[in-house]
Structure 1
Amino acid sequence: MYSKTTTGLLLVDPYNDFLADEGKLYPRTKEVSESVNAIPNLKATVSGARKAGIRIFYVPHHRSEPHDFDTWMHPTPYQLKAKEGQVFAKDSWGGEFHPDFQPQAGDIIVKEHWASSGFANTDLDHQLKMHGIHHIVVVGMLANTCIESTARFGMELGYHVTLVKDATSAFTKEAMHAAHEINGPTYAHAILTTQELLAKL
């Protein structure tokens, strides 16, 4: 099912601000992340995909700059808050990929997404199609925002979608529950644990 020639691992927003202890957003995800061993599971998922010969697609959020959205017609409150806090700030430590998730030769780094979906206004769909990918495994941050939006958009575009419910995190347990128990089953073809996924690779 997860052939190395047709499967891609989408690694969403593996930034220091999300994953490092000193990151701007890590304190908000810490309780949930530790409860599911999110970071060790992310590492295991990426490592397992590499060993299986599955290509990794980095799906990064826009790196904040001070004047973001100043001239936009309809920035969301979420976007404005990210601007205010300079989350994933351009040319900052927080806006760098975490040391455990550095790109390697053959990985694809997709254009940055402005909101939640890794597909909207990026080259992700094009890159996947050019590499013959039609099964996507979506991991990273956050379960109920960028993971859900990217995965749902992928389903709408015709991809087979797998969520890995313990290789992600959220700000609250309620958000994690909604992402995997309520919303996930309405669009994902498979919702697995890290160990279940690794057994299938």
Structure 2
Amino acid sequence: MSASSYEHDQTALLIVDPYNDFMSEGGKLFNAIKETADASHMFDNLRLIIPRVRSVGIRVFIVPHHRSCPGDFDHWQHINMFQKAGLPTKAFEAGSWGGEFHPEFGPQEGDVVVKEHWAQSGFANTDLDLQLKQHGIRKIILVGLIANSCIESTGRFGMELGYHVTLVKDATAAFSHEGMVAAETNGPMYAHAILTTEELLSRLPPAP
């Protein structure tokens, strides 16, 4: 793959779920992902990827999970396991510090903030596909959380819609080592490229 493979006007970086509850110490889910995040050096690698992507003119899309609100799943017929498990903790609670975007990894001026997804896929029941198409995007690079749920589901859905999908395997984390293994096992089934941060940076276009 040549350095020009990620053309700045056709490529987007998707940062999935960059909430304080995940990414800030003291967040409700921070300790749950800390072991795998430390092992992959996710935070350090995001600090390399995000500024570099912005500097070369690749647009950033924020792909956020639904912020919990009272009565969210009342009378739902098929609440999924993760949604049910999150009811007591109220992760990403609307109006709370944990439900705010991390100041370093969240949106900046010029980014596109997509409608919140209810379950795992950033495409399902959101405007992500519309926003990508309206911005002329053909290739998506996925970073953030969680490797074997929202990252995988968004990547699979993106592949089905015809996007070129890139996973950055050391810019993500999971709730367990087994979750990371599952993501690594499943990735080749839908991703067109699976790269390390170093490999990705070497393939980005030069800064204008």
Q: Which of the five TM-score ranges fits, normalised by the shorter chain?
A: over 0.9
Q: Shift of residue 115 of structure 1?
A: 0.2
**Out of 34, 52, 74, which is 1:48 matched to?**
52
Q: For residue 60 of structure 1, what is the amino acid of its counterpart? A: P
Asked if the contact 2:62–2:106 (Cα under 8 Å) also holds between the matched residues in 1, the reply is no
RMSD: 0.8
The CA distance in 2 between the partners of 1:110 and 1:82, in whole Å, is 22
Q: Alignment identity in percent?
A: 60
- The 5 Å alignment of 1:26-41 reads 26-41=30-45
Asked if the contact 1:65–1:83 (Cα under 8 Å) also holds between the matched residues in 2, the reply is no
Q: Shift of residue 44 of structure 1?
A: 1.3
**Secondary structure of the structure 2 residue equivalent to 1:100:** coil
Higher mean Cα deviation, 42-51 or 4-13?
A: 42-51
- Give the match for residue 188 of structure 1: 191
Stretches of structure 1 that go unaligned for 5 or more consecutive residues are: none
- Give the match for residue 111 of structure 2: 107
- Give the match for residue 22 of structure 2: 18
The CA distance in 1 between the partners of 2:157 and 2:106, in whole Å, is 26
The CA distance in 1 between the partners of 2:44 and 2:87, in whole Å, is 29
- Give the match for residue 197 of structure 1: 200
Asked if the contact 1:141–1:170 (Cα under 8 Å) also holds between the matched residues in 2, the reply is yes
Residue-pair matches, total: 200
Q: Shift of residue 105 of structure 1?
A: 1.9
Q: TM-score scaled by structure 2?
A: 0.94
Whether 1:121 aligns to 2:115 is: no
The CA distance in 2 between the partners of 1:57 and 1:76, in whole Å, is 26
**Out of 65, 70, 77, which is 1:73 matched to?**
77
Give the 4+ runs in structure 1 shifted more than 6 A. none
**Out of 4, 10, 20, which is 2:8 matched to?**
4
Deviations 1:146-165 (A, max 9, x none): 00000010000000000000
The CA distance in 1 between the partners of 2:32 and 2:124, in whole Å, is 26
Q: TM-score scaled by structure 1?
A: 0.97
